[in-house]
Amino acid sequence: MTRTAVARRHIDRHRYAAKMFEVSNERFEELAAEAVASLPESLSSRMDNVAIIVEDEARGRNLFGLYEGIPLTRRGFSNYNGVMPDRITLYQKTICQVCANEDDVRAQVRKTVIHEIAHHFGISDPRLDELGWA
């Protein structure tokens, strides 16, 4: 698994700015790394070719995170050869804007990481909703 790569853009805060709890970029990345490290070995050892990226906000969308790639369940020798890593993007400002303290940020980062990693494993949004991870 590829460790965290950072790509940041400055985007103005939106309507939740008054509630926002800010953490430094470094602390946010630590919280993301903690979330990945908290996964059971049986899951984390099966992750393949994934980069976790941190950005401020998704352009034109209100997302905590986004998975982009080919899920493990759809990979085959003929369609998965020489490809760039899958990307899990965490949106720091969007997450922080709904949090009142660092514990809230930690919990939302963990939930978002688990949600996006589930997509890497081929689990759909409706199924995540059934499991309580939507």
For the domain that residue 125 is a member of, what is the CATH number?
3.30.2010.20
Provide the whole-model pTM: 0.79
pLDDT of residue 74: 81
Element (H or E) spanning 34, and its range? helix 25-37
C-alpha of 119 from chain center:
10
**How far apart are alpha carbons 112 and 28 in whole angstroms?**
13
Domain that holds residue 96: 5-131
| pLDDT exceeds 90 at position 15 | no
Of the candidate ranges 41-50, 51-60, 63-72, 111-120, the one whose mean pLDDT is the lowest: 41-50
**How far apart are alpha carbons 40 and 52 in whole angstroms?**
18
Neighbours of 18 (CB within 10 A): 7
Domain count, the chain: 1
Element (H or E) spanning 33, and its range? helix 25-37
